[in-house]
Structure 1
Amino acid sequence: MSSYTATVNATEYPPHLKHKVIFETFGKLQSSEAMLLINDHDPVPLRFQFDAMYPGQYVWEYIQQGPVAFQVRIGKL
């Protein structure tokens, strides 16, 4: 079982703050730490942003893929 340094439940934030909180949380992670992202939809656009901002610096692993909830482990390499 994975442990997480932080958990972000994106459903608790207004749309204009979601990505800001997620990236701030990721930025605070140390190498080899991970966060858990909980969302109500597949965060594909967020993954594209991670690809652009942190190429080769993170790992993205789906823990749960819908249909109602999505959970993603985002680890810092």
Structure 2
Amino acid sequence: MTTTSTPSPTVDLRTISPRERHALVFSTFKALPPGGSMELINDHNPQPLRGQFESGLYGAFNWTPLEDGPEQWRVEIAKPADSQPAHGGSSCCGSCGG
């Protein structure tokens, strides 16, 4: 029996305009299926982005540092398998435009 799994997207923010970065991350996260994950690569510590996740999606994501600078920061952001839709109503952070 073979199982087909969707590859985890990698979002490399180093080449993205700063004003478009957070919206791209949130839209990519929103598109993940429950149990899915994405890898984020950045040229600085993404702590402000983590704060946005915590304020808008508290408990609906897992944040795992993979590399902590000084040249690049890499983070795995995962959507728990039992997660419910995180956008709409009062749970939306507003960053993704959704």
* Alignment TM-score, normalising by the size of structure 1: 0.93
Matched, 1:21 2:24: yes
Corresponding residue of 1:39:
42
Q: Which has the larger radius of gyration?
A: 2
Matches within 5 A, 1:1-77: 5-77=8-80
Corresponding residue of 2:3:
none
Provide, for residues 1-54 of structure 1, a one-character-per-residue CA deviation record: whole Å limited to 9, x for no partner: xx9521100011101100010000000001111000000111000000000111
For 1:27 and 1:9, how far apart are their aligned partners in 2? Answer: 17
| AA in 2 matched with 1:12 | T
Identity score, percent? 36
Q: Tell me how many residue pairs correspond in the alignment.
A: 75
Return 5+ residue gaps in structure 2 as ranges.
1-5, 81-98
Q: Which runs of 4+ in 1 moved over 4 A?
A: none
